[in-house]
Amino acid sequence: MKFSSVLVANRGEIARRVILACREAGLRSIAVYSDADADAPYVRFADDAVRLGPTPATESYLSIERVLAAAKESGAEAIHPGYGFLSERAEFARAVTEAGLVFIGPTAEVMDAMGRKDRARAIAERAGVPVTPQFDALAVPADAYPVLVKAAAGGGGKGMRIVREAAGLAAAIEAAGREAAAAFGDDTLLVEKYVEAGRHVEVQVFGDTAGNVVHLFERDCSVQRRHQKVVEEAPAYGLTDELRHTLHESSVALCREVGYTGAGTVEFLVADGRAYFLEMNTRLQVEHPVTEEITGLDLVQWQLLVAAGEPLPLTQDEITATGHAMEVRVYAEDPYAGFLPQAGHVLDAAWPLGARVETDLGADQEVSTAYDPMLGKIVVAGADREDARRLMVEALDDTGIFGVTTNLGFVRRLVASPDFADGDVHTAWLDSDASIDLLTPPNLPAEAARTAALLWAGFTVSAGDSPWSAGDGWRSAADPAPTRIALIDESGAAWEFGFTDDDELEDGLLAIADDDSVTIAWQGQNWRLEAPDPMRGGHRAGAATDADLVSPMPGTVLRIDVAEGETVALGQQLGVVEAMKMELAMLAPYDGVVSHVGAAVGEQVPIKHLLFTVDPA
């Protein structure tokens, strides 16, 4: 089982993380890449790299045949799957071992057993793990509602429906089954009691080939939107000692029951002082850094040791936790447009120096919608939860990504919010009315506008050597007048400020500028302001008006339902764009006449491409 080289069957920040662990362990690392990632930093960071294939994941990162061919070509002796892609595919683990390689993860048999929610539930019950009440789909008691209908296979929220009354059960079962069949090729469903306002608490577990199993404490991952985690922290806050003991011991018992090896996570829903088993993730988790921060351990190094047949480095009594750690996921997405994934060219990226940053993103890189939109993770550790929260706010203030829309401003507002500070957050919180304010686009703060204008003043005052060309308010035989700066923000609002020589910029400001505009990152949110141009009547160059409908993300035009000159009514469908497997209908903003159609069926369009213009009637 010993090995000296590891192929990392993944990309981006997790590939870089595993490559670093291999380097520290003295192992040769081999990266794999698609055409889209040929110039990615992680590829250069590895000792060797092999091309998998074209950009689509099905032809590269999801192709077992191509990954194994890359391992053979590079002489790799082991494969680390990272997370996502093939990491929880039992057929991949089986193919790796059948090829004579070491799979850095649990066995295919364990993945088969725990990969389905129905089998995992049965194993959990045998191990004495607390579970939610389950019902026969054809005989749900009248007093059982609300119930959760969920697919037995797969994950990610697909094939899942909440049913609050008996009248909606049949339709929910039909819809969930159809979605599960399409996503996983299996329409098997479970019907369980739905626990309202529950928190997501998960336990990090580790097992070795000698049968030793330990836990590395727990994490809270309750801040989610559409079942996708946004903020994670360790340890979970506000649990009683008894509940914490139940979570830890039942997780270890589950692993012993199934013969688990390597890193895994047992997930629970916690409500009203009780814990209910959800599922097990048979891989390393995105949020593993928060566990590393409170324990001082390297989970990837442990994975490498266990895969090589070594025993766990520590016993349960030797594992301790100190302080509190917090992680936020940075996504290329627009939180104020339904969290639609975004894409584009990164002009610059500034990550916080005082935090742990897990990323493979830098300046002058392309962000594609071909893969998961996560750009990186920011991790902080403090003496307690409030200390960690304060450090996270500071870290987000020191982060700026320019050229691509991200969720940075949103997560900064979230972490700074009173509800999050009080710990008053559950798994449905972000999808409820309680988060409406956070999901409402913020207005440009006056302080941010003034800072942007001061930056612009410094950019324009040095326009030339002659006093006649400078914008500093110089006057012959008189005291200098204040420098006047006028800018227009993206909403069309005008801002004007006057500055003197005594006005100075603070250190550490994040901004970029060109000949026409300045963009400033302020508390995570990017704000672009332009200099007014009298030749265009004060309107911003290329700005979309209420009459313009632009593509909210890169995609393919599926339908064009109107022609130029056609009269349309409020809400009428003008066309459909498909992106990231979502169909987005473009609707008329009011009664009017179509004066412009900017695309054809089948055309690939970039984000903010002008599709239709509707002039008011």
Residues 187-208 pLDDT 10s:
999 999 999 889 999 999 999 9
* Confidence at residue 468, expressed as pLDDT on a 0 to 100 scale: 37
* Confidence at residue 470, expressed as pLDDT on a 0 to 100 scale: 44
Residue-range definition of the domain harbouring residue 504: 446-536
Dist CA 194 CA 140 (whole Å):
12
Does 221 score more than 60 pLDDT? yes
- Shared domain for 329 and 400, answered yes or no, is yes
Question: What tokens were used for 547?
Answer: 């009459």
* Confidence at residue 480, expressed as pLDDT on a 0 to 100 scale: 57
CATH code for the domain of 512? 3.30.700.40
Dist CA 349 CA 403 (whole Å):
9
Nearest residue to 306 via CA among 202, 204, 217, 213: 213
Q: Which amino acid is at 409?
A: G
Average pLDDT over residues 314-341: 95
CATH code for the domain of 65? 3.40.50.20
Nearest residue to 216 via CA among 237, 235, 242, 194: 235
Would you tell me how many other CB atoms lie within 10 Å of the CB of residue 339?
Answer: 19
Q: Let me know: does 134 contact 121? Beta carbons within 8 Å.
A: yes
Q: Let me know: does 23 contact 69? Beta carbons within 8 Å.
A: no
CATH code for the domain of 142? 3.30.1490.20
- Shared domain for 395 and 411, answered yes or no, is yes
Question: What tokens were used for 102?
Answer: 């070491």
Query: pLDDT band at 243, cuts 50/70/90?
Result: very high
Of 536, 557, 575, the residue that ends a domain is 536
Question: Which H or E run includes 467?
Answer: none
Q: How far is CA 531 from CA 29, 452, 513, in A?
A: 50, 11, 11
Question: What tokens were used for 446?
Answer: 């006056």
Tell me the pTM: 0.87
Does 324 score more than 80 pLDDT? yes
Of 171, 193, 215, the residue that ends a domain is 193
- Shared domain for 152 and 24, answered yes or no, is no
- Shared domain for 335 and 411, answered yes or no, is yes
Of 271, 292, 322, the residue that ends a domain is 322
Average pLDDT over residues 290-317: 98
- Shared domain for 188 and 203, answered yes or no, is no
Looking at the domain assignment, is residue 541 inside a domain?
no
Would you tell me how many other CB atoms lie within 10 Å of the CB of residue 414?
Answer: 24
- Shared domain for 413 and 285, answered yes or no, is no
- Shared domain for 13 and 73, answered yes or no, is yes
Q: Which amino acid is at 206?
A: F
Number of domains making up the chain: 6
CA 108 to chain centre: 28
CATH code for the domain of 221? 3.30.470.20
Dist CA 67 CA 73 (whole Å):
10
Q: Which amino acid is at 140?
A: V
* Confidence at residue 184, expressed as pLDDT on a 0 to 100 scale: 84
- Shared domain for 206 and 297, answered yes or no, is yes
Dist CA 453 CA 460 (whole Å):
10
- Shared domain for 122 and 265, answered yes or no, is yes
Place of tokens 């590395």: 216
Looking at the domain assignment, is residue 521 inside a domain?
yes
Looking at the domain assignment, is residue 22 inside a domain?
yes
Residues 369-417 pLDDT 10s:
889 999 999 999 999 999 999 999 999 999 999 999 999 999 999 999 9
Looking at the domain assignment, is residue 385 inside a domain?
yes
Looking at the domain assignment, is residue 20 inside a domain?
yes
Dist CA 493 CA 483 (whole Å):
20
Q: Let me know: does 284 contact 300? Beta carbons within 8 Å.
A: yes
Looking at the domain assignment, is residue 438 inside a domain?
no
Dist CA 376 CA 361 (whole Å):
7
Query: pLDDT band at 277, cuts 50/70/90?
Result: very high
- Shared domain for 209 and 304, answered yes or no, is yes
Q: Which amino acid is at 238?
A: G
* Confidence at residue 617, expressed as pLDDT on a 0 to 100 scale: 80
**At 73, is the secondary structure helix, strand, or coil?**
helix
Most confident by average pLDDT, 242-251, 369-378, 509-518: 242-251
Nearest residue to 284 via CA among 253, 310, 262, 251: 262
- Shared domain for 279 and 365, answered yes or no, is no
* Confidence at residue 503, expressed as pLDDT on a 0 to 100 scale: 85
* Confidence at residue 539, expressed as pLDDT on a 0 to 100 scale: 42
Residues 66-76 pLDDT 10s:
999 999 999 99
Question: What tokens were used for 247?
Answer: 């979570």
- Shared domain for 76 and 180, answered yes or no, is no
pLDDT, mean over the chain: 91
Residues 334-349 pLDDT 10s:
999 889 889 899 999 9
Query: Could you tell me which residues come within 8 angstroms of residue 517 by beta carbon, excluding any fewer than 6 positions away?
Result: 528, 529, 530, 531
CATH code for the domain of 562? 2.40.50.100
Query: What letter does residue 131 receive in the DSSP assignment?
Result: B
Question: What tokens were used for 335?
Answer: 């939180």
Looking at the domain assignment, is residue 16 inside a domain?
yes
Q: Where are the alpha helices (DSSP H) in 351-470?
A: 385-397, 408-416, 418-421, 446-461
Nearest residue to 539 via CA among 495, 489, 498, 496: 489
Looking at the domain assignment, is residue 435 inside a domain?
no
User: What ranges make up the beta strands (E) of 195-305?
Assistant: 199-207, 213-225, 228-234, 262-271, 274-281
